[in-house]
Structure 1
Amino acid sequence: MNLAKDKEPTFPTSYKEILQRIDAIDPLKYRASRNYIDGAVSYLSPYISRGVISTKFIFTEILKKGHHPKQAEKFIQELAWRDYWQQVWIAKADAINHDIKHIQAPVSNTEVPKAILEATTGINAVDKAIEEFYKTGYLHNHLRMYIAAISCNMGRSHWKSPAKWMYYHLLDADWASNALSWQWVAGANANKKYVANQENINTYCFTNQKGTFLDIPY
């Protein structure tokens, strides 16, 4: 499902419309465009996290449509990641509320950066996304990563409070995916931190901004 770059997503509550959304999944378009803010993503995550549909059901429906598993591999991998984070939560329990593999460092505070809360980071794509997030409860996955990277790796906030802020506002709020993904960005659940620069943001968000604090080479 593609959206125009300036159009906000909607989330119908009719089961028939949810099934139509599943039917509209194009795994090849998803693989090619998923990192772009107008990419052919499914917009199904709120229905999964609220138990309306399951990842297994979506997987089965994709195969019913005749998509070969190899053809749909990237989409299936993303379904698997969601299930994997749930299994980590089951196995680790409350441990996911703490730095799970490595101590996040450096950390200078345990708050949500004010620039994130007020959408005043100076990164146009990020600020616009936060403003829309407050209205819609939706954030593209790439924007989630950018926000987490700015909060933890630039603002040096410990991941947990910003992760709770995002969880509170998300329509698809899923604590396992949210907490463990924030830890991945912050280097607490991975062997290195996730870093994004302005060029990367410009590419996937269709901006042409220069001279920001992220306008540096990798």
Structure 2
Amino acid sequence: MSTALVLFRRDLRLADQPALVAACAAHAEVLPVYVHNPAEDTRWAPGAASRWWLHHSLQALQGGLDAQGGQLYVARGDTLTTLRRLATVCGAGTIYWSRRYEPAAIAQDSRMKAALRAEGLAVESHPGNLWREPWQVATAQNSPYRVFTPYWRKLRQQLLPEAPLPAARARAWVSLPGSVPLEELGLLPTLPWATGLAEAWRPGEPGALEQLELFVDDALADYAHGRDLPARHGTSRLSPHLHFGEITPRQIHDALHRRAATTGADRDAPGLEPYLRELGWREFAHHLLYHFPHTPEAPFDRRFDRFDWREDPAALALWQQGRTGVPLVDAGMRELWHTGWMHNRVRMVVASFLTKNLRQHWLHGARWFWDTLVDADLANNTLGWQWTAGCGADAAPFFRVFNPSAQAARFDPQATYLKRWLPELADLPARLLHEPWHDPSALATRGYPAPMVDLATSREAALAAWKGIART
């Protein structure tokens, strides 16, 4: 009887799982394995919010396998050493995994594949967490795209509704003694903010499918408009589920088109194309990271190597704490701290404030998001911060500085979002809450700080710094 190991990383699901499906189809026995090896993660080790999510996602995967009579074997230590040991113990001749696309992960997987094959083991890697792998979409000159719109045009032509793979079922699951209890991996934080994460999210494959259903039922039809309103649940909130591979773009695409078919809507139904385009940005982020692997720590536009960033730890701390005195910025940072997530429009505003009004290096923001977001993803995080800072591929021009007051007045006109996260200001009228510094006495009695910078003056200073590198 042939036996296979299936290594899980960020593909924590049973449905639409090509590596697992292939193993179950080709072998009589299958052992699902997760190896916790923090030493593999160097400069971008998962942050606290990601570790919290990972614990609960693994717990959900265990539950799914338990329901089939299977076992998720959890181990700690070096991944290659663990796979060798388990293959020997259970007599496995083949190891399966889903491909990863970050530069360090690609290098690790290449080394493991070569070493295992040199020892006579077969290794099969499969795609599964993107529509198209980063090297599969190229310009007519066979070069990578640097601008989103032509990239999306090319990718969109390739996307047809495709039925996801059903949940994998092995003919027999292998069970071995010695699996490490999840609690011993030390993923759960001890800080009290984890309570807010648990209130806001349901990690795991069942939670992902439930969230997709909610989005399709409640928010898809008005997505083109509702996605910009932070007080509403107008976005899919699927980003952490996608990052951990609890759901795939193919499953989402299929669900959207099935809904369109049942309602008689066509391909251009409101919300459908705008949301697919947002998923396209996720694909573009991975495309850029694969082809330009230096970008997590260096600007795509190398002129920004000479930009006059300011180093001000005290200012950075106020931004992190949501104590800048600018309501929309503070509301977003408090939402992040409480829930591990922030509305996308607000993300752009807080990033613009940090990199332009405060002129702090975008990496400071990227690292804070990396630690506090449940959907922290190296490709998306890099693209988002460099886009807002003006130094990325197809980035917003540096002179585009989001005005937090104008953004709040436009997208949160009744200040519903601001009042939710700034309870000390909740009794103020909306017009004043958008710019409370116009009534200093109101701030003094409520304990809310005055703005740490003047928005207009700091904007002009940022533009002056930009001019210093713009002509070179």
CA distance in 1, matches of 2:309, 2:204: 44
Give the aligned residue type for 2:401. Answer: V
TM-superposed CA distance for 1:45, in Å, is 0.8
Give the aligned residue type for 2:300. Answer: I
Q: Is the 8 A contact 1:30 1:39 kept in 2?
A: no
Q: 1:29 aligns with which of 219, 222, 225?
A: 222
Residue of structure 2 equivalent to 1:3: none
Is residue 20 from structure 1 mapped to residue 213 from structure 2 by the alignment?
no
Residue of structure 1 equivalent to 2:309: 107
Question: Compared with structure 1, are the counterparts of its residues 23 and 10 closer, same or farther at alpha carbon in structure 2 (3 Å cutoff)?
Answer: same
Count, aligned residues: 211
Give the aligned residue type for 1:195. Answer: V
Give the aligned residue type for 2:311. Answer: N
Q: Is the 8 A contact 1:27 1:74 kept in 2?
A: no
CA distance in 2, matches of 1:56, 1:97: 31
Residue of structure 2 equivalent to 1:204: 411
Give the aligned residue type for 1:21. Answer: Q
CA distance in 2, matches of 1:27, 1:117: 32
Is residue 81 from structure 1 mapped to residue 306 from structure 2 by the alignment?
no
Residue of structure 1 equivalent to 2:200: 10
Question: Compared with structure 1, are the counterparts of its residues 171 and 14 closer, same or farther at alpha carbon in structure 2 (3 Å cutoff)?
Answer: closer
TM-superposed CA distance for 1:106, in Å, is 4.0
Question: Compared with structure 1, are the counterparts of its residues 41 and 191 closer, same or farther at alpha carbon in structure 2 (3 Å cutoff)?
Answer: closer
SS in structure 1 of the partner of residue 292 of structure 2: helix
SS in structure 1 of the partner of residue 293 of structure 2: helix
Query: How high is the TM-score relative to the length of structure 2?
Result: 0.41
CA distance in 2, matches of 1:164, 1:69: 38
Residue of structure 2 equivalent to 1:65: 259
SS in structure 2 of the partner of residue 65 of structure 1: helix
TM-superposed CA distance for 1:39, in Å, is 4.3
- Alpha-carbon displacement from aligned partner over 1:167-216 (angstroms, at most 9, x marks no partner): 11000001111111111111101261242111122222343322463479
Q: Which has the higher strand share?
A: 2
Residue of structure 2 equivalent to 1:49: 243
Q: Is the 8 A contact 1:30 1:41 kept in 2?
A: yes
TM-superposed CA distance for 1:160, in Å, is 0.9
Q: Pairwise mapping of residues 68-217 of structure 1 onto structure 2 (< 5 A)?
A: 68-71=266-269, 72-104=272-304, 105-109=307-311, 113-189=316-392, 190=395, 192-193=397-398, 194-197=400-403, 198-206=405-413, 207=415, 208=431, 209-210=434-435, 211=438, 213-214=454-455
Give the aligned residue type for 2:336. Answer: F
Q: Is the 8 A contact 1:125 1:205 kept in 2?
A: no
Q: Which runs of 5+ in 2 are unaligned?
A: 1-196, 416-430, 439-450, 460-472
TM-superposed CA distance for 1:94, in Å, is 2.5
SS in structure 2 of the partner of residue 173 of structure 1: coil
Q: Is the 8 A contact 1:196 1:214 kept in 2?
A: no
Give the aligned residue type for 1:84. Answer: F
Question: Compared with structure 1, are the counterparts of its residues 215 and 101 closer, same or farther at alpha carbon in structure 2 (3 Å cutoff)?
Answer: closer
Q: Is the 8 A contact 2:340 2:372 kept in 1?
A: yes
TM-superposed CA distance for 1:110, in Å, is 7.6
SS in structure 2 of the partner of residue 113 of structure 1: helix
Whose RCO is larger (CA < 8 A, sep 6+)? Answer: 1
CA distance in 1, matches of 2:233, 2:456: 24
- Alpha-carbon displacement from aligned partner over 1:67-125 (angstroms, at most 9, x marks no partner): 53322110000011011101111111133421102533442238572321221111123
Question: Compared with structure 1, are the counterparts of its residues 17 and 177 closer, same or farther at alpha carbon in structure 2 (3 Å cutoff)?
Answer: closer
Q: Which runs of 5+ in 1 are unaligned?
A: 1-7
CA distance in 2, matches of 1:128, 1:46: 21
Provide the alpha-carbon RMSD of the alignment: 2.6
